[in-house]
Amino acid sequence: MNCILVYDIPDDGKRAKIADTCLDYGMDRIQYSSFTGKLRATHQEELMLRIKKILGKRPGNIQLFAISADDWSKRKILKQTQENDG
């Protein structure tokens, strides 16, 4: 299922480790602290447990949304690359 993971983690080291973990799960970075990717239900649980373990007792807000194919196909994207007209 298509998922989006968004997190707010003050600790730089923890944040970097969590980003690496998302990449391990084959997710794509869409922003500094946000990833999208296809994850089956068991992997969603597993990823959240791994993140919880990395975070330990440190503060953080991590939110994982699994999104139906229909809603996913309707997402709105505005993507512009570097302006090259000066």
Binding site for a copy of itself (CB under 8 A): 4, 6-8, 30-34, 36, 44-45, 48, 51-52, 55, 57-68, 71-72, 74-83, 85
From the CB of 85, what's the least distance to a copy of itself, in Å?
7
* Integer Cα distance of 7 and 32 in angstroms: 9
Judged by CB, which is closer to a copy of itself: 8, or 20? 8
From the CB of 18, what's the least distance to a copy of itself, in Å?
11
Residues in the chain: 86
Please give the structure tokens belonging to residue 57: 């007792």
* β-sheet bridge partners, residue 29: 35
